[in-house]
Structure 1
Amino acid sequence: MSSPLALLLQRHSAPSRQLSEPAPDEATLHALLEAAIRVPDHGKLVPFRLILLRDKAKLHFGEQLTAMAIRRDPDLPESNREKERMRYTFAPLVIAVIARVDSNSKIPEIEQKLSAGCVAHNLLLGAYALGYGAQWLTGWAAYDRDVAALLGLAENEHVIGFVHLGTPLIDIPDRDRPVLTDLLSNWSP
């Protein structure tokens, strides 16, 4: 019998370039998203939301980001332009995880952002549990206010990350992991 912790001990990210069709069907995706939003949420603020990028919208998003990158750096090499343009097209589904920060709340901003981060992590865990691959990426687009405007975000909203989701094309080897004893200590007065 496998350990109840096997999912956590085996989960790993699949590089977005190694993700292809199929993505979860609509019913499976709905179930995954329902599970993903079951996160710690101090104050019950629901400080997150999700934006799905699919099909031609992914390429259009990449083309818009490329135009922004060129405006910032007209000498951007062609290879970088193509990388920006295609960045979101490999996985069949990209989920933008958005933090919605309520600055009038007594709940600290970091707790609200961590709650949204838990949604992204649950997407990774859920995708792995369902037999899919996923990768949580950020990059400059996650921190850029022009990109936030492109996504239709309000001033109090921030991209936590883009979760690329699909079926791995290859077996993904695990990476070296930290040694627990190097990270663990006991506090004593």
Structure 2
Amino acid sequence: MPDPNAAALAFLKTRRSRPAKTLTTPVPDEAALRELLTVAARTPDHKKLEPWRFVVLEKPALDRLALMVPDRAAALDVPPEGAAKMARQFSDADLVVAVIGAPKPNDAVPEIEQVLSTGAVCYGLLTAALAAGWGANWLSGWASFDRPFVEDGLGLNAQEFVAGFIHIGTETVAPSERPRPDIEAITEWVRA
């Protein structure tokens, strides 16, 4: 029989993201954030390609991104409420880590494996932040898929993409539990 890590399992069974709009200062300092990034980078990564990277967005960078939103929203015909919500995602935040997918050509590792590894990094960072006692949330939104926004605002090249904006801060409100998947409805047992 395995020797379970009961504390880790209990944490994972009750893990709950914190709404980004409820996060405030203080945020992790550079040393604390480096530790969280180190944990997140310890993810499944076939052939050790590291098909992802981090862009740490501090308050001035977040304010700059918020100012970019109206022009991009207008160019994309995003309704005013969608533009305002996206701008607030940046302007109301104090620390966000953009997890950037950066697939690398490799005959042994299909791009989909690298994309999945990038998603695992997002979840790893989110979970590490929560385990460290911070509030955290994984967001995206229309701006994360807009090439001019991510290339001009974050310096991404044409092959890179935003897998998620991980908001990290001090939680002001603990959210209530939400409905979770019915495991029996989504699980198939194949025994032969």
State the shift of 1:76 in Å. 4.4
Aligned residue type for 2:110: P
Give the match for residue 159 of structure 2. 156
Give the match for residue 135 of structure 2. 133
Distance across 2 between alignment mates of 1:136 and 1:12: 11
Distance across 2 between alignment mates of 1:50 and 1:125: 16
State, as a whole percentage, how many aligned pairs show the same letter: 39
Give the match for residue 186 of structure 2. 183
Give the match for residue 40 of structure 1. 44
SS in 1 for 2:44: coil
State the shift of 1:83 in Å. 2.7
Structure 1 contact 98–161 (Cα < 8 Å) conserved: yes
Distance across 1 between alignment mates of 2:30 and 2:23: 18
Count of paired positions: 187
Distance across 1 between alignment mates of 2:160 and 2:82: 28
Structure 2 contact 62–91 (Cα < 8 Å) conserved: yes
State the shift of 1:2 in Å. 5.3
TM-score, normalised relative to structure 2: 0.90
Distance across 2 between alignment mates of 1:152 and 1:106: 28
Give the match for residue 25 of structure 1. 29
Structure 2 contact 62–93 (Cα < 8 Å) conserved: no
Summarize deviations over 1:18-46 as a string: whole Å, max 9, x none.
11111112211111111110000001110
1:64 aligns with 2:101: no
SS in 2 for 1:5: helix
TM-score, normalised relative to structure 1: 0.91
Give the match for residue 112 of structure 1. 114
SS in 1 for 2:90: coil
- In terms of fraction of residues, the more helix-rich structure is 2
Aligned residue type for 2:140: T
State the shift of 1:80 in Å. 4.2
Give the match for residue 12 of structure 2. 8
Summarize deviations over 1:159-180 as a string: whole Å, max 9, x none.
1011111111112112111122
Aligned residue type for 1:28: A
Q: List alignment gaps of at least 5 residues for structure 2.
A: none
From 160, 172, 176, give the equivalent of 1:173.
176
Q: List alignment gaps of at least 5 residues for structure 1.
A: none
SS in 2 for 1:163: strand
Give the match for residue 93 of structure 2. 91
Distance across 1 between alignment mates of 2:105 and 2:31: 35
Bigger drift between 150-159 and 82-91 goes to: 82-91
Task: Please identify runs of 4+ aligned residues in structure 1 that moved more than 3 A.
Answer: 1-4, 79-82
Distance across 1 between alignment mates of 2:144 and 2:79: 19
Aligned residue type for 2:168: L
Distance across 2 between alignment mates of 1:84 and 1:63: 10
